[in-house]
Amino acid sequence: MELEQGDIIPKPTLSDIPILGTGYSGQTIEWLAEHTDGWLFYSQGVNDQRKLVNKWREITGEFKPFTQALAIDLSRNPNEAPKPIQGGFRSGYRFIIDYFRACK
């Protein structure tokens, strides 16, 4: 699509402005892999996220970024077990360290 009137400021430094799919965007993962530059997804369990990332990597056939939004409410208690909150969890730092290691 070309801009017929007006001007974009600032100018993009890349040849195209990167497009990220958000969630499934009403599409299939195959469509997203073909038509987007990357994928932004919501947080979910580590095992489910790992499966989804692996499928994304397999379908894209090349590196395309996958990122997730994650809300963390850090407790003062380092040992507090995780409790769900909208878009993430509340926990102590020990769980958070384990969580990020598992995501790696």
Q: What is the pLDDT of residues 80-100, one digit of tens each?
A: 999 999 999 999 999 999 999
Is 11 or 101 the better-scoring residue by pLDDT?
Answer: 101
Sign of the CA dihedral 12, 38, 74, 103? negative
pLDDT of residue 3: 62
Judge whether residue 1 has pLDDT over 60: no
Which strand ranges, in their side-by-side order, compose the sheet holding 66-69? 20-22, 38-42, 66-69
Cα–Cα distances in angstroms (integers) from residue 49 to residues 14, 39, 69, in the given order? 30, 12, 12
pLDDT one-digit tens code per residue, 16-28: 788 999 999 999 9
Confidence of residue 54 (pLDDT cuts 50, 70, 90): very high
pLDDT reading at 57 higher than 80: yes
pLDDT of residue 2: 66
